Each structure stands twice: as C-alpha cells, then as structure tokens.
C-alpha cells in the first residue's frame, strides 16, 4: 500500500511525495480562497468546489478557511461554514445536506500515537468524521477523529465532541453530551416564530 492508501485506511503512515503534492495543492487553493474579495462570489464557490472532493450545487465557505488536503471533504447540498473553519482531512469528512458551521468550527480526523517513540518516528493516523443532515454546529466547537453525528442535531458552541452523537438531539459541553431530545414542541414553537416574523414583515 502507498502512504496515501495507509492514511485513508486509518493505518499508521508517513508523509510521502504524493501527499506533499496534494498538501501543496490545498495550500494554493485555500490561499486563493482566503485572499479573494467579497465581490468575487462566483470565484469563491468555484475554488471550494475545486478544493473539496464533493459538494452540492450550493456551498459557501467564509474565508479564512484551512484544510490539509480538501479532497477528502465531501459535503451535501446547502453547506455553510462561517469564518475560521479548520478541517484536517487525513481521512474522509462526510457532511450531509443543510449543514451549518458557526465560526471557528474545527473538524479533526488526524491522530498521533500515544507512544512517544512511535510518534517521534513521524508516524500518524486518521479516523473519519461523519455529520448527518440538517445539523447546526455552534461556534468554537471541536469535532475529534472518528466521531459520527446524526441527523437533525444541534451542537452547542464551545463543545468538544469526542464520542458519537445520535440523531434529533441538542448536545453541548466538554466533553460534548446529549442535553435533551429535539421535540415536536420545539418545531411548533419555531414554526410559530416564523409565522409571526412573516406577518410582521407584511404589515
């Protein structure tokens, strides 16, 4: 197996010329994205679509943005990442439809051996991260390697997600824990707020 194949499989690997070339490609594309202007909206979208492994028709990433490779980031329709997002995509980062990241959300797939001798030898590994549909990740949240977050989840700001989070819940904290389920009462409340807002705009 090549070092890249080892990396993507979650096994210990070292940097290689192939990986360094892909790393430099990502550095170039993120530099172009991060130095683009607010008037270059279409250019920004094109750069993100070139950088990521897959996107939906609509994707928006507020600069500055940083990643290791970009090609292991797969996002669905209507993905939005606010300022200062960092995604370390040594392994796949798979994100569903209608997902929003607050500012300074960090997603890490990269890991390093606990044993110092092995770590000092330049070996590292990765574990994939999966985020479902209709998820809102609050600002300053860190998502650690190997985590899966279900559908229709809200992660409170400042959380450190170290374990899987099931669907249809609000979770927060360090370490991040489920606080409560998202209920029909939540839906009714927010649909009423939407109705009142629209009526106010029509007056």
Does this model's pTM top 0.75? My answer is yes
168 is annotated as an active-site residue: no
Here the CATH number for the domain that contains residue 119 is 2.160.10.10
Q: What is the pLDDT along the chain (203 residues), one digit of tens a residue?
A: 999 999 999 999 999 999 999 999 999 999 999 999 999 999 999 999 999 999 999 999 999 999 999 999 999 999 999 999 999 999 999 999 999 999 999 999 999 999 999 999 999 999 999 999 999 999 999 999 999 999 999 999 999 999 999 999 999 999 999 999 999 999 999 999 999 988 887 76
CA atoms of 106 and 157, how far apart (whole Å) = 12
Give the burial class of 194: count Cβ atoms within 10 A of its Cβ; 0-12 exposed, 13-18 middle, 19 or more buried. exposed
State how many domains the chain has.
1
CA atoms of 56 and 78, how far apart (whole Å) = 7
- Quick one: the chain helix, strand, coil %, rounded to 5? 30, 25, 45
CA atoms of 139 and 102, how far apart (whole Å) = 4
The position carrying tokens 């939005």 is 80
Structural domain including 28 reads: 3-202
In this prediction, residue 203 carries a pLDDT of 65
- Choose the catalytic residue: 4, 25, 66, 112: 112
């Amino acid at each position: 197996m090549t070092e890249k194949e080892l990396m993507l499989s979650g096994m210990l690997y070292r940097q290689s010329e192939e990986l360094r070339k892909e790393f430099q490609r990502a550095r170039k594309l993120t530099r172009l994205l991060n130095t683009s202007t607010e008037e270059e909206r279409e250019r920004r979208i094109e750069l993100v679509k070139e950088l990521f492994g897959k996107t939906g028709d609509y994707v928006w990433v507020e600069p500055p943005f940083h990643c290791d490779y970009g090609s292991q980031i797969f996002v669905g329709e209507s993905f939005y990442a606010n300022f200062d997002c960092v995604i370390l995509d040594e392994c796949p980062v798979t994100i569903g439809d209608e997902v929003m990241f607050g500012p300074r959300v960090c997603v890490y797939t990269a890991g390093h051996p606990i044993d110092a001798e092995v770590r000092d030898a330049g070996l590292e590994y990765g574990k994939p991260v999966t985020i479902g549909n209709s998820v809102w990740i609050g600002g300053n949240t860190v998502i650690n390697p190997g985590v899966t977050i279900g559908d229709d989840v809200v992660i409170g700001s400042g959380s450190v997600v170290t374990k899987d989070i099931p669907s249809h819940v609000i979770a927060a904290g360090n370490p991040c824990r489920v606080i409560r389920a998202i209920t029909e009462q939540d839906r009714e409340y927010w649909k009423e707020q939407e109705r009142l807002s629209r009526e106010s705009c029509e007056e």
